[in-house]
């Protein structure tokens, strides 16, 4: 595996963890604004992830 492949895999794993945290925080009743602060993402990005999750 190349260094670049390892970097891409690491980033994908980090984004998956972030997505899981966003879902968990939402299920715990946190607001989009609070979730965004906790995961260090913009509110729009958090809203998008939650919208995609609800479409599943």
Has this prediction a pTM greater than 0.95?
no
Question: Of 2-11, 15-24, 25-34, 37-46, where does mean pLDDT reach its minimum?
Answer: 2-11
CA distance 46 to 17: 13
Query: Is the per-residue pLDDT at 34 higher than 90?
Result: yes
Query: Is the per-residue pLDDT at 10 higher than 90?
Result: no
Torsion of CA 35, 55, 17, 48, to 10 degrees: -50
Nearest residue to 22 (alpha-carbon basis) of 42, 7, 1: 42
Query: Is the per-residue pLDDT at 6 higher than 90?
Result: no
Nearest residue to 41 (alpha-carbon basis) of 55, 23, 54: 23
Domain with 21 in it: 3-55
Instruction: Match 């939650």 to its residue by tokens.
Output: 50
CATH number at residue 49: 1.10.10
The token duo for 48 is: 């998008």
Number of domains in the chain: 1
């Amino acid at each position: 595996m190349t260094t670049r492949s390892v970097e891409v895999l690491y980033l994908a794993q980090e984004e998956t963890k972030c997505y899981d945290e966003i879902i968990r925080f939402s299920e715990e009743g946190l607001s989009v604004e609070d979730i965004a602060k906790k995961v260090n993402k913009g509110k729009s990005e958090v809203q998008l992830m939650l919208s995609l999750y609800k479409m599943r």
